[in-house]
Amino acid sequence: DILMTQSPSSMSVSLGDTVSITCHASQGISSNIGWLQQKPGKSFKGLIYHGTNLEDGVPSRFSGSGSGADYSLTISSLESEDFADYYCVQYAQFPWTFGGGTKLEIK
């Protein structure tokens, strides 16, 4: 199975900050990666697919980048609604696997 190592596990940040979350895959995944947001007690929302593409309705302050085995989600100018948990998921190879998550907290 492909191991997705996500970091950091948590971040304490301020409104207006720019943050980056990374996922390192145990092998190359050719941009077959998505990023998900989960707010406390809620379900998930897809943010990014195929490494760099924004899902419909996702604000442009979210962006994805990377190649090979290393990928990042960047959130610019953090807003209050962005404080949530974030996960990466690879779908390059079965079984699809997830990162361990990153919790964004308000400083």
By CB under 8 A, name the binding residues for other proteins.
34, 36, 43-46, 49, 55-56, 85, 87, 89, 91, 94-98, 100-101
34 touches 92 (CB < 8 A): no
Query: What six digits make up the tokens of 33?
Result: 């990666």
> Tokens 């998505």 identify what position?
34
**Least CB distance to other proteins at residue 74 (A):** 19
Phi, psi of 54 (to 5 degrees): -75, 135
Contact by Cβ (8 Å): 24, 67: no
CB of 29 or CB of 89, closer to other proteins: 89
Residue 61: CB minimum distance to other proteins, A: 18
Q: Least separation, in Å, of the C-beta of 43 and other proteins?
A: 5
